[in-house]
Amino acid sequence: MRWLALALVACSSSGGASHDATAMGSCGQDLTCAPAIPAGWMGYIALYDGPDGGAQACGAGFGTDIAAGSASPTAADATCGACTCGLPVSNVCAASGGDATLAAISWGQVGRACTPDLGAACANGGTCIAAAAPRLLCIQQTGDAACPTGSPFATPYVLYGGVTDTRGCTACTCGNAVMGACTPSGGAPTGAATPSMPVTYCCM
C-alpha cells in the first residue's frame, strides 16, 4: 500500500498557493514547508493508495477522509445464456436466448484522500502544512498526465473515478432449417470493462 500526501488549492500565477501568506521562512514545530505547486496543478493532499479497507485515519492537521478514485479493476467476462432456435416457419427459425449476466467489478487499489490545513507561506513559494511522513507529498491534475518537468513532484500515480462497461453477449442467430431443424449460434462473451475519468497524482 502507499500513502501519498495531497489539499486542493489552485496555484497562483507565480506558482505558489493562492492563500494569503502570513510569514516567510521556517514553518515551526510539527510543520513542513511543502514545495510550490507548479502552474496547472492542484495540491496538496494526503492520499492513501492501496487495498480497500487498509487506509489509516488522517492525522492531526488534516481534514475529513474522502474517496479519491480506484485502480486495477477486475471484471469477469459476461456469462451468456444458451441460444435456442424455434420451429422452422418457411424454412426459417427464430432465435432466442443469449442473455448476459454481468459479475460486479472489483478494484485492486482504492484511493482515500484528506487535505491539510494550510499555514503560512514559506521558502521558494511553498506552504507550511502538517508533516506528511510516512506519506508522500503530492499534487494532482485531471486526466492521465505526465508529471511537471523539473518539479520534485516526479512520481506519477493514476486513479480512476469511473468505468466504461461494454461487456455483453453476441446476438443469437439461427441458420436455415435442415431436415426440419435449425442450428443456433452466437451467445459468446464480448466487450470489456475499462477504467475512465483518470486523475494523475504526482508525488515526491
Q: pLDDT tens digits, residue range 77-93?
A: 999 999 999 999 989 99
For residues 82 and 97, give the distance between their C-alpha atoms in angstroms, rounded to a whole number: 6
Confidence of residue 66 (pLDDT cuts 50, 70, 90): confident
Whether pLDDT at 19 is above 50: no
Give the total number of structural domains in the chain: 1
Q: Residue for cell digits 497524482?
A: 201
pTM, two decimal places: 0.78
Q: What is the pLDDT of residue 54?
A: 80
Q: Which tens digits make up the pLDDT trace of 150-204?
A: 999 999 999 999 999 999 999 999 989 998 899 999 999 999 999 999 999 998 8
Three-class secondary structure of residue 79 per DSSP = strand
Q: What is the pLDDT of residue 134?
A: 62
Per cent of the chain over pLDDT 90 is 51
Bridge partner list, 32? 129
Any idea which residue has 489552485 for its cell? 10
Q: Residue 8 — very low, low, confident or very high, per pLDDT cuts 50/70/90?
A: very low
* pLDDT score for 133: 64
State the pLDDT confidence band at 132, using cuts at 50, 70 and 90. Answer: low
Instruction: Report CA dihedral (61, 62, 63, 66) to the nearest 10 degrees.
Output: -170
Cα 127 from Cα 11, distance rounded (Å):
11
Query: Which range in 32-36, 94-98, 125-129 is most confidently predicted, on average pLDDT?
Result: 94-98
What is the per-residue pLDDT for 13? 34
Confidence of residue 140 (pLDDT cuts 50, 70, 90): very high
- The range of the structural domain enclosing residue 86 comes to 2-203
Asked if pLDDT for residue 106 goes beyond 90, the answer is: yes
